Structure 1
């Protein structure tokens, strides 16, 4: 007999009665929730490389959301989070994220409005986005940047560094700087450049690179160090004027709290599929605003996650810019818009995506395509990198 108590309500039409999970290429997991009256909501709960683990977590958590009403999103979020003695972390929070996204999709569809209308309404008519150009081991980064500009972007992001030792040679430092210099020379001041250290650069190297990159006037430097070393960001910030961004491997407002309180970051990057979904990221966005920190949600993922990010961006005054996975190297030529019946929703013009106006998350999933590709599935794992001496290094 279940020990789960539920908030009482009279309208049973939005009770969740069914869930389905789809592992689809290139590396995503989709969740479909269906209510008693047939309303459908979609979420994207996934940790890249651990899709099967998150899938198992949702199956285990289903006892909480089956029979629960999508009217009571906050109640369910609190039950999923606080109902377990052990909480937080990438797997559980990613599972909660996808469930939360799907619930907001359902409730907003039932009310006939976009999600952002239920979160206070839009504060902008369009949202600036940026595209990836790789850079781990680049051969033609300048050409890639120019292609992004042609695609309608006004900002690009790149890694710039391959395998990195705790301290590196002058040659490798020069190679990193050269990659960024090539991109800046190619695009001039027509677009912004962000550089993602990806947590693969250790403190000693970060100090060098931040100073060396100063002349290129970067939009921000992302994950200058691993999140478990965030305490050094204050010192790194003093190395130059480039804004520091981080947050993709932080999973709740409690993870972000010490960063905001210490004033070490300029841009918060929670991931809508990892940091508790729409409900929690809206709270993180408000916390960031209170500490004069910009918001730039992390999203190298699929169309549901991207749509969820945009819903937050449209109603958050401190939203700076939004990551898009269109054309990202992980996708292997399978774009996120291929899973949509309305791909035009994500059209990028002059660096912006227009306000999404359809009810719910603003997208229509091509369920036939999802089911077809789920039969193929995926076994995506991130690369395991080693230094020249054979030692494991950060990817």
Structure 2
């Protein structure tokens, strides 16, 4: 087989926009007519620029090549421009292209990707969701522990056995900082209300976004330990895993991290320093499916577990499922509620979610097909990025 062409889709995610403001998809086609899809999770540049990057990388490295040569294509892309180092923008577009190559390979061999990466280990994948407001509710929901606890109960009744929330406040380009007393009190109230509401029927996943200094994260962790969260997510910024390791050694709450990391090399530092025992690679950023499989192998040797991250579209979700299905150290999968709404509309056949678990598809490749009519009907024309950080210091000011 030879790769012949690429088509990109920059898709606006309509309100309530769970999963981000937009999704960037690619479709690769071989000369023999097999098509594969991928998705880039990258936030540094506008999505139209990201789509152009994917087209450029395809033309220079992938066009005319065999899509089954994923290792060779990955290495050539990784070294483009005399780089050979983790680059979050390159890894976003490379992840999308690599993902599409695996989709093509699976279709050509008439096998799901997980069968090509060791076979099915986990026939059901435990999933969790953020606590999201109902349609029509305003942003005040995210600061209300009582409404969040009620929503947690409803998710548990649907079948979820874990819920995530992040009441510590905004994140800034000037982080890390000390948490305010008000936000620490609110965080403790969230944990208390939700634990009281769900009892032992669901794990609590405490999310942060690298806002805090080591000492600040320790102060917050000390308050949360009595509620036994399953994890404390990204308590310090991602640049220095050595600093995050200080938090991990201090608290009995497992530390989770990885949504802003890419390649085996950055995750190796996390494991070597003991910064986290739960790794959260996003397959639209980390370097693709095979790179994530390598990271899972390294984690296995450190008795660390994998909880694939998702705050993007359904194609990355499908890739996350392929990885989770074939690794022995899978912990839990992030979902956007039950993968309904616009995530389901973007696929010809939605992802299968049953009673708190995602069921890996038996279809070849990634197991999903992009509904191109829906994607083309929702072009993204804003200049805003996928996510925003505050442009001024937060906290005591």
Normalising by the residue count of structure 1, what TM-score does the alignment of the two structures yield?
Answer: 0.88
Task: Return the offset for 1:239.
Answer: 2.5
Task: Report what 1:163 is aligned to.
Answer: 170
Counterpart Cα distance in 2 of 1:224 and 1:67: 44
Can you give the 5+ residue segments of structure 2 that lack an aligned partner in the other structure? 14-21, 133-140
Alignment partner, residue 7 of structure 1: none
Give distance in 1, aligned partners of 2:337 and 2:8. 23
Deviations 1:100-156 (A, max 9, x none): 000000010111010001101011211111101157534621122123223331111
For 1:45, which of 35, 40, 47 is the aligned residue?
A: 40
- SS of corresponding position for 2:272: helix
Which shows bigger deviation, 359-368 or 145-154? 145-154
Per-residue CA deviation, residues 212-255 of structure 1 (Å, 9 max, x unaligned), is 10011111111011111321222212322111111111111111
1:346 corresponds to which of 348, 352, 366: 352
Instruction: Name the counterpart of 1:204.
Output: 215
SS of the counterpart of 1:228?
coil
Deviations 1:293-339 (A, max 9, x none): 101111111110000001000111001001112379xxxx9531110
User: How many angstroms apart in 1 are the aligned matches of 2:258 and 2:179?
Assistant: 25
Task: Find out whether 1:391 has 2:393 as its counterpart.
Answer: yes
* 2:66 equivalent among 61, 69, 72: 69
Contact 2:338/2:353, CA 8 A, preserved across alignment: no
SS at match of 1:182: helix
- CA pair 384-293 structure 1, distance change in 2 beyond 3 A: closer
Paired residue for 1:15?
2
The equivalent residue for 1:90 is 88
What count of residue pairs does the alignment treat as equivalent? 370
CA distance in 1, matches of 2:234, 2:130: 15
**1:34 to partner: Cα distance:** 0.8
Q: Deviations over 1:4-41 (max 9, x none)?
A: xxxxxxxxxx3111101110022110000011111110
Give me the whole-angstrom Cα distance separating, in 2, the residues matched to 1:250 and 1:46.
12
CA distance in 2, matches of 1:131, 1:273: 19
Q: Quote the residue 1:309 is aligned against.
A: 320
Does the 8 Å CA contact 1:341/1:366 hold for their aligned counterparts? yes
Once the two structures are superposed, what CA deviation does each residue of 1:149-179 show, in whole Å capped at 9, x if it has no partner? 2333111111121137822443331111111
SS of match in other structure, 1:201: coil
Q: Determine which of 361, 368, 379 is the counterpart of 1:363.
A: 368
1:152 aligns with 2:159: yes
TM-score of the aligned structures, taking structure 2 as reference length = 0.88
Do the aligned residues in 1 keep the contact of 2:86 with 2:262 (CA within 8 Å)?
yes
Which segment is superposed worse, 136-145 or 170-179?
136-145
* Matching residue of 2:285: 274
Which residue is equivalent to 2:108?
A: 110
SS in 2 for 1:360: coil
Residue 78 of structure 1 corresponds to 75
Whether the aligned pair in 1 keeps the contact of 2:228 and 2:253 (CA below 8 Å) is yes
Structure 1 alignment gaps of length 5 or more: 1-13
| CA distance in 2: counterparts of 1:384 and 1:268, whole angstroms | 23
**Counterparts of 1:107 and 1:354, CA distance in 2:** 21
Q: Which is further off, 172-181 or 21-30?
A: 172-181
Residue 56 in 1 paired to residue 60 in 2? no
* Conserved 8 A contact 1:28-1:48: no
C-alpha distance 288-334 of structure 1, shift in aligned 2 (>3 A): same
CA contact (8 A) 1:23 1:378 kept: no
